[in-house]
Chains A and B, each alone.
Chain A
Amino acid sequence: MNKRLLRDLGLEIWLPIVLVVVWWFASASSTSFYFPPLSKIMESFAADWLDPTQAFDNLLPSLALLGMGYGLALVSGVVIGTLFGLVTPLEEAARPVLEFLRAIPGVALLPVFIVLFGIDQPMKVLLIAFGSFWPVFLNTVDGVRGIEPLLLDVAGVFRLGRARRLFSIILPGASPQIFAGARTALAISLIIMVVAETVGGSGGVGYFLLDAQRNFRVQSMWGAIIALGILGYLLNIAFRIIERLVLRWHRLQQARLESNS
């Protein structure tokens, strides 16, 4: 098991290492203002993102924003999605409108949201929530509608109350789909977070990035991009860990199905 883990880690890590090495040496003698040597970028990166107080100041607003926006999207997506999944006429009547709203890229609504909600944190939270709501919502609807009908019969026969039916049958049954939606939503949240942070002055990685670029701190700009990449990567890993824990049954069952066929 440990051997396999090591091999997987090796497989995952060799390409990034190669790319960093290539970048390092290819840029070493660069004199371009906009494309400084990687060694210089790393100096800024260390100063901006590895120093605890600095990193804290720059990251905390972003993480707070992301947490609130993404959290709001998850809760509202699952709640409204479950409702629409259970009440079929509602879903059918609303579908054209939903398809239209879903097709609008979240960031395109930034000007509208500024007009409606100002340029401060509430607007940004709502924008992230709106943009990442759709994959959670639509996947929840599909998951709930796809519940095994026989399990609903079982729930009927044993006279499960509403709450138990919801928490013991419907939500667990829809959970693989909900997680698929939540994963997409996480990526969208991150994008909208960066864009939203470029307006107003509430700080965060996006603000830092734009500020560095406007003030010709090119090394810091590149450093912030690397920091964003790492942030996204770590968030994805955290997501996968939670998913593996919650959907353990699903992963094992799928593996069994594959090995049997």
Chain B
Amino acid sequence: MTITGSKGKARDEGAVPSSVALEASGLGHAYKGREVLGSIDFAVRRGEFVCIVGPSGVGQTTLLRCLAGLQRSTRGQVLVKGTAITEPVRGVAVVFQDYSRSLMPWASVRDNVTLPLRANGTPKVEANRIAAESLAQVGLDEHVSDLYPWQLSGGMQQRVAIARALAYGPEVMLMDEPFASVDAQTRADLEDLVRRLQRDLELTVILVTHDIDEAVYLSDRVIALAGKPAHVSDIVDVPLGADRDQIGTKGTPEFAEIRAAVHGLIRRKDDAVS
């Protein structure tokens, strides 16, 4: 289980330390004596879009919870802008997979989006203004503000969850399979939305997914996880340029090549273990 190669690669690319937004260093986690995460090392640069991809049940959700500071890892550490974290820190927002459970059903869309602002001392008027701005950024109409989230479609609910994360004013946005519960067309729309937001707002996005196509399409780099316990199989650059579109980009030979490479990384390590 040597991962020095990928580790070295990640380090080399993020040569200037101050450009690293978030870093996992020797991160490992055991749950009830069973190792879920091996030793995970990677660094994500500021303004970078990185997808963490791996087969189901490989422990991505655990990894993401550790990165968010929601869970203490049993080994290693997570560093945000060079500082090791032990709990969620300002500047890191999370969008969860299950929008129907992560939004408060008793609060209006507006109150859901202003929650992180109000919690951190923003006055109500100002919070409402920022919420309206965030909702506009994710393409939601002003009039949904007064509705309950469950009165909206799945895709719109996930947009509300994204707006809530944006309202927090994050530098790093962590996303745990954010599009796994919506239909294909909505998924494509949301993928493009998140890519656009990431570029416009110069966000650092770390997105966990099982879908290799999605990972390659969205990312600047793909971190492939494999094995049990999960470890970084390799980190793959995705030089597909900044302007991508769902049909054109996915049809290029480069896309197919990277896709095959990532697929191989996940598969090979999986087979080797089982």
Contacts and interface: CB of A to CB of B under 8 A. Distances in A.
Contact of A249 (B101, B106, B116, B120): B106
A156 B94 CA distance: 10
Contact of B90 (A159, A164, A250): A159
A154 B102 CA distance: 7
A217 B233 CA distance: 91
B48 to A, nearest CB: 20
A230 interface: no
A160 interface: yes
Interface of A: 148, 150-151, 153-154, 156-161, 164, 168-169, 172-173, 175, 249-250, 252-253, 256
A21 B69 CA distance: 70
9 contacts: A151-B104, A154-B115, A156-B70, A159-B88, A159-B89, A164-B118, A164-B119, A173-B106, A249-B105
Interface residues of B, number: 28
Contacts of A169: 104
Contact of B102 (A151, A172, A252): A151
B93 interface: yes
Contacts of B92: 157
Contacts of A253: 105, 148, 150
A217 B196 CA distance: 83
Interface string B115-138: 110111000000000000000000
B7 to A, nearest CB: 27
A153 B70 contact: yes
Nearest to B118: A164
A157 B98 contact: no
B93 A158 contact: yes
A168 B115 contact: yes
B98 A150 contact: yes
Given A158-B119, A160-B115, 17 more contacts: A150-B98, A153-B65, A154-B94, A156-B70, A156-B87, A157-B70, A158-B120, A159-B88, A160-B119, A168-B104, A168-B119, A172-B104, A172-B106, A249-B105, A249-B106, A252-B148, A256-B150
Contacts of A159: 88-90, 116, 119-120
Nearest to A152: B70
B70 A250 contact: no
Interface of B: 65, 68-70, 87-90, 92-94, 96, 98, 101-102, 104-107, 115-116, 118-120, 148, 150-151, 168
Contacts of B148: 249, 252-253
A226 B89 CA distance: 62
Given A148-B101, A175-B106, A253-B148, A157 B93 contact: yes
B150 A151 contact: no
A247 to B, nearest CB: 8
A175 B106 CA distance: 10
A41 to B, nearest CB: 47
Contacts of A172: 104, 106-107
A258 to B, nearest CB: 13
A172 B104 CA distance: 9
A172 B90 CA distance: 25
Contacts of B151: 256
Nearest to B93: A157
Contacts of A148: 101
Contacts of A175: 106
Contacts of A161: 119
Contacts of A150: 96, 98, 101-102
Contacts of A157: 68, 70, 88, 92-94
Contacts of B104: 151, 168-169, 172-173
